[in-house]
Structure 1
Amino acid sequence: MSLKKTAVIAALFASTLGAALPASAAVAGRSTLGVTVEQEQLVVNGWSVKKSVLGKDVYNDQNEKIGKVEDVIVAPDKSLSFAVIGVGGFLGVARHDVAIPVDQFTTNDGKFVLTGASKDALKALPKFEYEKQPKKSS
């Protein structure tokens, strides 16, 4: 994959998240939550992870549907790192989730593409599982 395409995909995912990350603004000498007037324009012109990435099909370079974007992972340094792709299953049952680095994606005619991938190749990858959070005590 060319460096330009990698940068476009990373920017695509990153720009999607940019509007979703919290921002703060100072108003009349006090701190408040929300976005500044300048940031609001970015939000209005940005696009939503929920509407533009999550739930979108992923294809291989043979135009075969191989999975669906179930989640995106933001690293502790706030960089977009991985997309969680669900492979197989029916209505989420028996689905095999895998984490794929965002720089491995390209886009073609508005579709997310993983060149050289197949359902079987994705199912052979280690299953992605979220870290279990400790239960809060009452």
Structure 2
Amino acid sequence: MKRLAAALLATASIAAAPQAFAQVAGHAALGVSVTELDAVIKGVSVKKQVLGKTIYNEANEKVGNVQDLIVTPENAVSFAIVGAGGFVGVGRHDVAIPVNQFKYDQGKIVLPGATKDAIKALPEFKYERQEKPAKA
């Protein structure tokens, strides 16, 4: 696959694929069908091929790292959280970038037109804080 976005979206669409076996009232099928397994085999491993990987621009300059992927409520991988700058996570500036802006070229994740300064100039991404429920 040439585009990282296409690969990630293909893996995210597995949940929406039709089941190849009948459903029984009161029971849910577990696992994937033979048809779905083909999509899994052709997909991209986020853990091995995306998370923590360096992002380059088209000049082969390092511009950041993939810190996380955001799956929207529609079950699609929509954004990559990219960290730029800093050392060992200290002083890093995280931003959200739509996955359709990335390319996967010869085993490298490429973000055309990116520079470290351009990424640092984007609004910083911060995770929403989840409040812990009060103990009874």
Q: Normalising to structure 1: TM-score of the pair? A: 0.79
Assess, with a 3 A threshold, how the Cα gap between structure 1 residues 40 and 107 changes in structure 2: closer, same or farther: closer
Q: 2:43 aligns with which of 41, 46, 59?
A: 46
**Structure with greater strand share of residues:** 1
Aligned length: 131
Q: Kindly indicate whether residue 70 of structure 2 is the aligned counterpart of residue 56 of structure 1.
A: no
Q: Percent identity?
A: 51
Amino acid at match of 2:37: E
Amino acid at match of 2:98: P
2:5 aligns with 10
Unaligned runs of 5+ residues in structure 1 are none
Report 1 or 2 for greater relative contact order, CA contacts < 8 Å, sequence distance ≥ 6: 2
Alignment RMSD (CA, Å)? 2.5
Divergent runs of 4+, >4 A: 21-28
8 Å CA contact 2:13–2:75 kept in 1: the answer is: no
Assess, with a 3 A threshold, how the Cα gap between structure 1 residues 34 and 22 changes in structure 2: closer, same or farther: farther
Q: 2:67 aligns with which of 70, 95, 98?
A: 70
8 Å CA contact 1:67–1:88 kept in 2: the answer is: yes
Unaligned runs of 5+ residues in structure 2 are none
The residue matched to 1:98 in structure 2 has which SS? strand
Separation in 1, partners of 2:23, 2:7:
35
1:94 aligns with 91
Alignment of structure 1 residues 99-138 onto 2, 5 Å: 99-138=96-135
